[in-house]
């Protein structure tokens, strides 16, 4: 998806501090959280894209984002701002704020 194909209603970014990067467990938590929002949500490794569907664990894992990578978010939809801030918080909390199960 190139940037001009959509007009993001909310954007954000944060540094991935989780030691393993976007490994299995963080990716599960991340995509599960993204799916709670009706907005379309994207994740990218640059503010210029390319953008990846943040609700797809297959795509998020495929980023192979490692520690200290800055991850960028964009969202489009009524709850776009909430989605971005929730995802930023999850990454900043080192994936601890919603321990799974």
Partner 1 sequence: MSSAKATVYLRGICASPGLARGVLVRLQERVRTGIRAPSSGPSDSASLRQAIDSACAELTALKQRARDSDAEAMLAFQIAMLQDPVLSEPAFTAIAAQVPPEQAWQDAMESQIRQYDSADDAYFRARASDLCDMRDRVSGILSGAAIIPVPPGSIVIATDLPPSRFLEMSWDGGGIALTEGSANSHVAMLARARGVPMLIGLDHGLLQAHGEALLDADNGVLITSPDAKTLTDFAARQQALRIGRGGTEGHLALPAVTAGGEHVQVMINVADGAELGSLNPAWCDGIGLVRTELLLRSKHYLMDEAKQYDEYCRIVRWAEGRPVTVRLLDAGADKPIAGYTVDVESNPFLGLRGVRLSLLHRQVLSTQLRALARAAAVRPLQIMVPMVTWPDELDQVRQMLDDAVESLTKEGLDCVRPALGMMVEVPAAALTCDLFRADFFSIGSNDLIQYVTACSRDSRALAALQDPLQPAMLRIMREVVKHANTRGIPVSLCGDMAGDPRCVPALLAIGLRCLSVAPAALASVKAAIARYRSEASAQEHSA
Residues of the shown chain interacting with partner 1 in the complex, contacts defined by CB under 8 A? 18-21, 23-25, 27-28, 31-32, 53, 56-59, 61-62, 64, 66-67, 94, 96, 100-101
CB of 46 to partner 1, least distance (A): 19
Residue (7 or 101) nearer to partner 1, CB: 101
CB of 97 to partner 1, least distance (A): 12
Please, are residues 87 and 12 in contact by the beta-carbon 8 Å criterion?
yes
Side-chain-side CA neighbours of 54 within 13 Å: the count stands at 32
The region, left, alpha or beta by phi > 0 then psi within -120 to 50, assigned to residue 82 is alpha
Residue (40 or 47) nearer to partner 1, CB: 40
Bridge-partner residues for 13, per DSSP? 72
């Amino acid at each position: 998806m190139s940037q001009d194909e959509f007009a993001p209603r909310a954007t954000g970014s944060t540094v991935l501090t989780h030691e393993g990067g976007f490994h299995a467990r963080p990716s599960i938590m991340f995509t599960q959280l993204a799916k709670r929002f009706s907005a379309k949500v994207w994740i990218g490794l640059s503010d210029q894209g390319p953008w990846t569907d943040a609700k797809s664990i297959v795509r998020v894992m495929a980023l192979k984002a490692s520690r200290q990578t800055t991850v960028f978010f964009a969202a489009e939809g009524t709850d776009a701002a909430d989605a971005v801030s929730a995802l930023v918080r999850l990454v900043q909390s080192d994936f601890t704020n919603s321990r799974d199960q």
